[in-house]
Amino acid sequence: MAQIGWAIDLERCTGCQTCTIACKSENNTPMGTNYRDVAFVDSGGYPLLQRLFVTMSCNHCENPACLASCPVDAITKESTYGIVLIDQDKCIGCKYCVFACPYGAPRYNGSTQKVEKCTFCIHRIEQGLFPACETSCIGRAIRHVVSFDTAADSGRDAPTGFADAGLTHPSTRFLHDGSEAVQPGDPVAAT
């Protein structure tokens, strides 16, 4: 099975949270339910304060804890891209997945009383477009990787605090070594 994934260049993240809002606008999520968010991690103190911005959403893991936890099989790993999806018709809103996910990706929607999360903008991927967050990222920190090598790159170069990649094998790697492993404009996989 092919696996799409994320390459997040932490040296390019400006902390602007455009990704958060682009996702909301694209996916019509309600207030308070964000599929993508930016963490602000401070270290040091005045005047040598340091602050790291980390943008993250669902990592579309190779072994998703959410999928394993779902009692009604509402969560599936879609076969073309390996995108993890929650079937809103099947979800009963028990929130097991919310507690199972080591990354906090599933988001409970208090209005529908169901759980939603990042779909990797599969509706856009299928049309040859990029995910909304990647398209909008003004620092160009967010890149999708068409064929993510989970064995080699799962959780690679993750910042301190990122949950142990060995748990679920997330399809996300980080870049902060000045490398340009993923070039902008890489085409989305032809289906």
Partner 1 sequence: MASKTSNERPKSWLDPSLSRRAFLKSSSALAAVAAAGTLFKARPAEAVTTGGLPPDPIEQDADIVYTACLQCHGGCGIRAKVKDGVLVKIDGNPYHPNAAEVDHRLPYTTSRADSIQTLGSVCLKGQAGVQTINNPYRLLHPLKRAAGRGDGKWEVISLNAALDEVARAIAPYFQKTVADTSLTPAQAAAAADAANYIDTDFPELGGKANQVVFSPGRFEHGQKEFTDRLFKHGFGTVNYRHDHTSICETSHHVAHALMYNGKDHLKPDIVNAEFCIAWGANPLEADFPMQAISRKFMKFRKNGGELVVIDPRFSNSAAVADQWLPVQPGQDAALAMGMIQSIIANARYDAAYLRRPHAGAANPNSETTFSDATYIVDTTANNGSGGLLLSGGGKQQVVNSGGTVVDFDTVDTAQLDPSTLPTGQMTVFQLLKQEANKKTIAEWAHIADPSDTVITAATITDLASRFTSHGKRATIEIYRGVVQHTNGTYTAMAILALNNLIGNIDWKGGMATGGGHWHEVDKKAAGMINLKSDVGAGKQSPNGIPITRVGKEYESDAPNLFAADGYPAKRPWFPFAGFGNYQEIIPSIGDAYPYACKALLTYWNNMPYSAPAIRDVVMEILKDESRVPFHVNFDYEMGENASLADVVIPDGCYLERFSTPHVAPSILTKASGFRQPVVGTYDQTKKAWEFPYSHPLSGDIQMIEDLMIALAHKVEGITGQTWPGFGAAPFSGSDPDTSGKTLYNAGDYYDLILNNWMIESGKPASIQEIRDKGGVFEDDSGAYDADGLHVAHRYGGQVHFFIDYKPHAHAYGGATLVETRDSLSGANHTGLPTYVDPEQDIAGSSYAGEGSGTNVFKLLTFKPVMHAQGRTVIDPWLVDLMPDPMVQMNTADAAALGLKSGDKVKITSTHTGPYSRTMGDADDPFLANRAHLQVTDGIRPGCISIPHSYGHWQMSSQSRQVILASGVTQTVEGDASRAAGVSSSPVTRLDTSVGITYPAAPQDPVGGSVAFYDSFVTVERL
Residues 81-120 that bind partner 1 (CB under 8 A): 88, 98-99, 101-105, 107-112, 114, 116
Please give the structure tokens belonging to residue 40: 């602000």
Residue span binding partner 1 (CB under 8 A) among the ranges 49-57, 67-75, 76-84, 149-157 = 49-57
Options 94, 146, 163, 167; binder of partner 1; rule CB under 8 A = 163
- The answer to the question of residue 18 lying near partner 1 (CB under 8 A) is yes
CB 18 within 8 A of CB 96: no
Select 40 or 147, whichever has its Cβ closest to partner 1: 40
Options 22, 70, 84, 182; binder of partner 1; rule CB under 8 A = 22
Tell me the CA distances in angstroms from 137 to 52, 79, 100, 154, one per residue in order: 17, 27, 29, 22
Q: Where in 118-137 is the site for partner 1 (CB under 8 A)?
A: 121, 123-124, 127-130, 135-137
Does 47 sit behind a cis peptide bond, omega within 30 degrees of 0 on the bond before it? Answer: yes
Beta bridge partners of 105: none
Q: How many helices and strands in the chain, by DSSP H and E?
A: 7, 9
- The answer to the question of residue 181 lying near partner 1 (CB under 8 A) is no
Tell me the CA distances in angstroms from 171 to 4, 29, 88, 158, 191, one per residue in order: 7, 23, 23, 12, 19
CB of 174 to partner 1, least distance (A): 12
Total chain residues near partner 1 (CB under 8 A): 77
Tell me how long the chain is: 191
- The answer to the question of residue 71 lying near partner 1 (CB under 8 A) is no
- The answer to the question of residue 191 lying near partner 1 (CB under 8 A) is no
Options 76, 78, 94, 139; binder of partner 1; rule CB under 8 A = 139
